[in-house]
Amino acid sequence: MQVIDYKCPNCGSSMVFDSETGMLSCHSCGRKDDIEQFPDPLRENVFSEDEVVEYHCNSCGAIIMTESETSATVCSFCGAAVVLGDRLTGTLAPAKVIPFSISKEKAMDAFQKWCRNGRLTPNGFMTADRIKGITGLYVPFWLFELHNKIEVHGLGTKVRTYRRGDYQYTETQHFDVYRKIDLNYVQVPIDAAEKMNDELMDKLEPFPYDQLKSFKTAYLAGYIAEKYSYNDEELYPRAKEKVSAYINSSIQSAMSGYSTMSYTNKQIDTRLQHADYVLLPVWVVHYDYNKSEHTFAMNGQTGKVVGKPPISMAKVSAWFASITGASFISLKLIALMMGGGLW
Amino acid sequence: MKKRNILAILFFIAVYLAVPMEMSLASAELKTLIYDEAGLLNKEEYNELNVMANEYSAKRETDIIILTSTNDDNIDVMKMTEDFYDEKAPGYDKPNGNTVILTMDMRNRDFYLAGFYKGKEYLDEGRLNKINDKITPDLANGDYRLAFQKYIQTAYKYMGFRPGVNPDNILFNGWFQLAVSLGIGGIIVGTMAYRSGGRVTVNRQTYEDASTSGILERQDTYMRTTTTKRKIEKNNSGGSGGGGGGTTGGGHSHSGSRGSF
Ligand SMILES: [Zn+2]
Ligand SMILES: [Zn+2]
């Protein structure tokens, strides 16, 4: 009973999560069930501790081929949505989930539009047959709450210059500056999937946290989900590094108003309050172009697209030439207006 | 793609504009614009400069003249210039018309630059002083050919600028304009390429819990004031070339700049 599936009580088809309505829905008969009210099979079942070697589809009996991180997938034989229960319980149980609000079709459209708008992407880049696959993926994240107690000492100067007679005076006032600051960061997301590119995932932010729901396996029906590869302890250094940039910029603004500032002592005491394990929705698109594969990701709630598209040298040259040419002609016109000749 | 061709053409026009046009040799008859009575130039140099002076004179509709003299009668170089203008009656448009003259007094090693009519309007004392500064070192070195060439080219170039503006303003320099344009193009396209992969759109406030974060204590303790002073350099435009203009015996007023070498 490690494999959970969602059979329609009316017609027996496999039900999936519908991003439009936020309900568990049946494509065959149109039945829709409210997930909030739906009894979660995870809570009713106790899984054996045994290492599971094979998962079998409840619908057709075929072996479900998965990677070791996968916690939800689709049966490759009959297409039924299946959730691997033992990979979502115990320490692997997500606290919350943000469900998809952008459907596969909308995601495809948005991707194509984004590529067409790419001013430097080659013209032939965006054709449908290049899409190798689009996957709705619930990516495991840890949301960190970090409290920071900060004490900073610095030497600041305020510089004033004025003229008296034939002399230019520079008056420098020196200050000893001290600040005690509390900076508490909540829900700082760090992606916990080994295979996802950290830089790409960082650019997907922000996720709308008001859409966070208590985790129910039914949200995963019809999508791919992964379990975390790194736990919160392992990712704590990354979280700390991420907020340290925010901290430094906050310190700077807290000590503003001076012409120069040199820090003599900076103490930052960071405490980890807690970290929540959540699943966040990401559309992943694989593209074939010029024999190399490009990966793009889209925030499954906001629709923000990230990823490095190929760059067309012809378009780069054209833009460069036209911007340079336009600047040059503008400069010439400015020179002409100022009284200069064309050459 | 059509649009791209247009862009490429624009680019070439831009490059073309940056490079000063090479004048094609005018086949028209040559005026004598160089009166080398002191014999400072050999035949070849003379011909080359005279052809050049003719071309540039036509472009600016102003005769660009060089007069060299051994000054046997020991006349002042400014007076010599004025007498030359009255007697020879040079001018591009008419006798005693638009003219610029460089007069060399080899006896006293003095020279004088004068502009008449359009030459006076476009080459005022300030601009003549600039030409003066440019040619003085070459004259002192005895490189008369080079000094004359610079005089002809600079007089031509400065007359391309509206009177009153600084002709040496770097904004008027074609290479400077081209370099700045290339820089702008590079920065903008570079930014576009950099941003093509998506940007980070969170900042330090995104995850900050504003209700519990903030400055708890602040101290700004004044310690001392230090003051330094610096003498302001009065940088008056000290012209090396003196002189100024005047009016010829024949009643033609002119701008002028005098120098020696
Ligand atoms: Zn059904
Ligand atoms: Zn199956």
Number of other CB atoms surrounding residue A82 within 10 Å: 27
What secondary structure letter does DSSP report for A52?
Answer: P
Whether B149 maps to a domain, the answer reads: yes
Q: Provide the ipTM.
A: 0.80
pLDDT tens column, B138-153? 999 999 999 999 999 9
Q: Which residue did the predictor score with more confidence, B164 or B255?
A: B255
Q: Which domain holds residue B155?
A: 30-171+241-260
Q: What six digits make up the tokens of A43?
A: 């809570």
Residue B198 inside a domain? The answer is no
- pTM value is 0.70
Identify whether B111 is part of a domain: yes
Express each pLDDT in A82-131 by its tens digit.
888 888 888 888 999 999 999 998 988 888 888 777 788 887 776 656 77
Q: What is the pLDDT of residue B47?
A: 92
Is residue A323 pLDDT above 60, yes or no?
Answer: yes
Contacts for A68 with CB less than 8 Å, ≥ 6 apart: none
Asked whether residue B121 is assigned to any structural domain, the reply reads yes
The average confidence (pLDDT) of chain A is 87
Is the pLDDT assigned to residue A48 strictly greater than 90? no
The pLDDT score that the predictor gives to residue B13 is 64
Q: What is the pLDDT of residue B235?
A: 47
CATH of the domain at B86: 3.10.310.50
| B183 within a domain of the structure (yes/no) | no
For chain B, what is the domain count?
1
Domain for residue B211, yes or no?
A: no
Confidence band, pLDDT 50/70/90 cuts, at residue A53: low
- Predicted local confidence at residue B12, as pLDDT: 67
Q: Given pLDDT bands bounded at 50, 70 and 90, which one contains residue A341?
A: low
Give residue A317's pLDDT band: very low, low, confident or very high (50, 70, 90).
very high
Rounded distance from Cα A54 to ligand 2 centre (Å): 13
Kindly tell me the burial class for residue A206, based on how many C-beta atoms sit within 10 Å of its own C-beta (0-12, 13-18, 19 or more): middle
Q: Is the pLDDT of residue A268 over 90?
A: yes
Q: Which residues contact A190 (CB under 8 A, 6 or more apart)?
A: A141, A142, A144, A235, A238, A239, A242
Decide if pLDDT at B1 tops 60: no
Helix and strand totals (H; E) in chain A: 5, 14
Closest CA to B78 of B103, B55, B60: B103
Separation CA A336–CA A294 (nearest Å): 48
- Residues of chain A with pLDDT > 70, as a percent, come to 93
- Which chain A residue lies closest to B122 (C-alpha atoms)? A339
How far the first Cα of chain B sits from its last, in Å, is 61
Asked if the Cβ–Cβ distance from A321 to B218 is below 8 Å, we say: no
CB contact under 8 A, A343 and B160: yes
Nearest to B225 among A171, A203, A304 (CB): A171
B2 band by pLDDT with thresholds 50, 70 and 90: low
Give pLDDT, residue B171. Answer: 79
Window from A177-186, B9-18, B206-215, B247-256 with minimum mean pLDDT: B9-18
Compute CA distances A109 → A116, A128, A184, B110, whole Å.
11, 10, 39, 81
In a domain, B158, yes or no: yes
Ligand lying nearest the CA atom of residue A12 = 1
Q: In this structure, is residue B180 part of a structural domain?
A: no
Instruction: Report the pLDDT averaged over residues A237-248.
Output: 94
Cα angle A76, A82, A88 (rounded to 5 degrees) comes to: 130
